[in-house]
Structure 1
Amino acid sequence: MTTWSRLLSGGELRQPDAVSCGACVAVVATALHQGAPPPADFGSEVWALHRRLTSCADLDGRRQWPWPRWWGTPPWALARHLTVVSGREHRVLWVRTGARRVVRRVTAALRDGAPVAVYVGSRLLPRHVVLALPVAQAGVPTTTDLRWTVHDPASGRTRHIDLDAWRRGRLTPGWPRPWWVVVPTAGRHDRVSRR
């Protein structure tokens, strides 16, 4: 866990280009789910996963809608990826239809030890993805009832999301509006990855 603490606070787990924040989140979340350190060649792994997340087939070989890579990572592809690597079904929740309900779901997942992808952006469009870190992540400032600790791929460092600002749609710094979260459901997923 010391390595994770150093990596998450030291800026080493940074997205390699302007459109791979979602893939960067997926690589970090995968490593956390598997209890392993992130890959040594982090940037190459992020690019490879970005190609997979936007291709015609998911990690498990099932068909998915392709997506233009320069638009980033679609949340449904990230949900399918996290379902395969974690063994738990993941769903995309739209924040604007229930910000308080989403806060409860995300906080419960973080307390249960699962990272959660969070899409943020402007008033008009989602533009960035960060990873809310589980409460039990040693060495990282903890998530509380007032804030979540997130890994921000743009800087490669951790920062906080204030939950009162979340509910008002006024996040700072960066993109002010929450859009979607990719969160695990309560039950276990019964498929096993064929990787």
Structure 2
Amino acid sequence: MKYQIIPVTPFQQNCSVIWCDKTKLAAVVDPGGDIDRIVSEVSKLGLKLEKILLTHGHIDHVGGAKTLANQLNIPIIGPHVADKFWLEGLAKQSQNFGFPHIDSFEPTQYLNEGDNVTVGEQTLSVLHCPGHTPGHIVFHSSESQIAWVGDVLFRSSIGRTDFPQSDHKQLINSITQKLWPLGEKVNFIPGHGPMSTFEEERQHNPFVADQLLA
């Protein structure tokens, strides 16, 4: 699985273009905005975008999804249905976070724990990782040992849990019970900031390091 990170929106959210090198078919994970930049990068890479993948319903991750889907006639896949209220409230999110107005939308397909999503001949497994939001999804490529974790986990930090229906205990459980079993060597792309590995976070993250939770 190949990928290119494209920071978008004033929140510098890590949108990712991911693709199958054999088929050149691609998906975009969390197109929060700056659609022209995303489309330009896809074109430069010589890829055909076939779907949009969403980790959760916050505006900096989904703000450009519907526009991009309509522009390219491609489906929006994810997040889990528990984040439906976030997608229905996008107009209010626009006001609260100072974004241009964005209408609510319904994805083509919601995702559940254990689902698989294909990108060309590559397969991503789906983990439901609530806590930051109730319907947060993580995408994992076992072949490439990469995970797109949205706002569940960051380098040296974890997702906020002060939003409606956030839950700190759930978030810690999602990290320790869903992410850590994927293996210490997994590289992860967070929703914001630099990449890291699960091994690094288990050793040094001040919120979820092993020694803190033992």
TM-score, length of structure 1 as denominator length: 0.36
Q: Select the structure that is richer in helix.
A: 1
Max Rg structure: 2
Q: Which has the higher contact order (CA 8 A, sep 6+)?
A: 1
TM-score, length of structure 2 as denominator length: 0.34
